[in-house]
Each structure stands twice: as structure tokens, then as C-alpha cells.
């Protein structure tokens, strides 16, 4: 199990990377952006922008919903956060910096998200890209279906 001290150190590194991205793009660093980034990197689960806004509000942080959305967009542009669009059109986020690439199985009944990684699938995608003379920058695989728990209902 990862110690709390190590988790705080990792989170501070992620926040520092975000700060560097903001400054490199000649944007302003603010206390609000730092608070939002810290909360994002504290979360070890998928979340919506509205859920993040509520988390911050419950901690007494007076940050506008618009600032939360804009900061999430910057975190995504900086490749620190991944944004996944569900079939419903809703977006969920997860912090990805320092984490192994993975894909998702998404239950259409309960919304459960199962993360997985498959080396064979990664190799197939690279092979297809090479065959088509296509420079792959990344990918996002989402498989929709019904989880085992919902199948039993």
C-alpha cells in the first residue's frame, strides 16, 4: 500500500507539472487552479466536472463551476487528465499523468467503469497504424455493455 506521504509527494509533482504547463502556455497561475488540480489528483476514481465542483464546494472552496470546467480543459490539454465521453454525451475525467495507459469497459445499466490493459490490443493498433502509414498520437477504447452484476438482475 502506498504511504500517505508518498501520495502527497506524487500529487505535488502532478500539480507542479500542471503549473509548468500553464506558464509554458503563457497563462496565469491562480490559487483556484492549484486547488482544483490538488482535488483532481486526490481523486483516484472517475468523476464528472459537476462532481468535482461539489467536492470543492463541500470543502468550503468558493470556486465557480466555469473555473472548474476551464481548469479541467487545461489539465486535459496538458495530458495530465483524460476525458472520456460516454454514450449519454456526459463526460467523465480521470487523472492519467504517471499512470499506465488503459481502456474502459462501461456498463450501460449501472455506469460501472472497469479499467483494463491488453498488450495484444496495443500491438494490433500500432500494426494497423503502421500499415496505413498513420502516425498514432493516442487512442481511447470504450467497450459498452452490461457488467456481471447487472446481468444477474
pLDDT at 111: 87
Distances in Å between the Cα of 152 and the Cα atoms of 31, 101, 142, 147, 149 are 47, 30, 22, 9, 5
- Cα–Cα distance between 63 and 96 in angstroms, integer? 23
The partner residues of 113 in beta bridges, in order of sequence, read 106
pLDDT of residue 17: 93
pLDDT digits (tens, 9 = 90+) for 73-101: 999 999 999 998 888 888 999 988 777 78
What topology is assigned to 100-153 in CATH? Dna Ligase; domain 1 (3.30.1490)
C-alpha distance from residue 14 to each of 43, 88, 119, 123 (Å): 12, 30, 26, 29
Domain spans in the chain, listed from the N-terminal domain onward: 1-99, 100-153
Dump pLDDT digits (tens) for 32-55: 999 999 999 998 889 999 999 999
Q: Read off the pTM.
A: 0.81
Stretch among 2-6, 53-57, 99-103 having the lowest mean pLDDT: 2-6
Domain 1-99 belongs to what architecture? Orthogonal Bundle (1.10)
Q: What is the pLDDT of residue 2?
A: 52
DSSP line for 63-101: --HHHHHHHHHHHHHTTSEEEEE-TTS-EEEEE-TTS--
Q: Does residue 5 surpass a pLDDT of 90?
A: no
Amino acid at each position: 500500500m502506498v504511504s500517505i506521504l508518498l501520495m502527497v509527494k506524487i500529487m505535488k509533482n502532478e500539480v507542479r507539472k500542471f503549473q509548468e504547463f500553464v506558464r509554458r502556455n503563457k497563462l496565469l497561475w491562480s490559487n483556484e487552479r492549484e486547488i482544483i488540480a490538488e482535488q483532481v489528483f486526490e481523486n483516484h476514481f472517475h468523476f464528472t466536472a459537476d462532481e468535482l465542483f461539489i467536492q470543492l464546494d463541500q470543502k468550503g472552496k468558493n470556486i465557480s463551476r466555469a473555473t472548474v470546467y476551464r481548469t479541467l480543459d487545461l489539465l486535459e490539454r496538458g495530458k495530465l487528465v483524460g476525458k472520456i465521453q460516454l454514450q449519454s454525451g456526459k463526460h467523465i475525467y480521470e487523472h492519467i499523468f504517471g499512470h499506465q495507459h488503459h481502456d474502459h469497459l462501461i456498463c450501460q445499466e449501472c455506469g460501472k467503469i472497469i479499467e483494463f490493459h491488453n498488450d495484444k490490443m496495443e500491438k494490433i493498433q500500432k500494426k494497423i497504424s503502421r500499415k496505413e502509414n498513420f502516425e498514432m498520437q493516442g487512442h481511447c477504447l470504450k467497450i459498452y455493455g452490461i457488467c456481471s452484476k447487472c446481468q444477474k438482475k
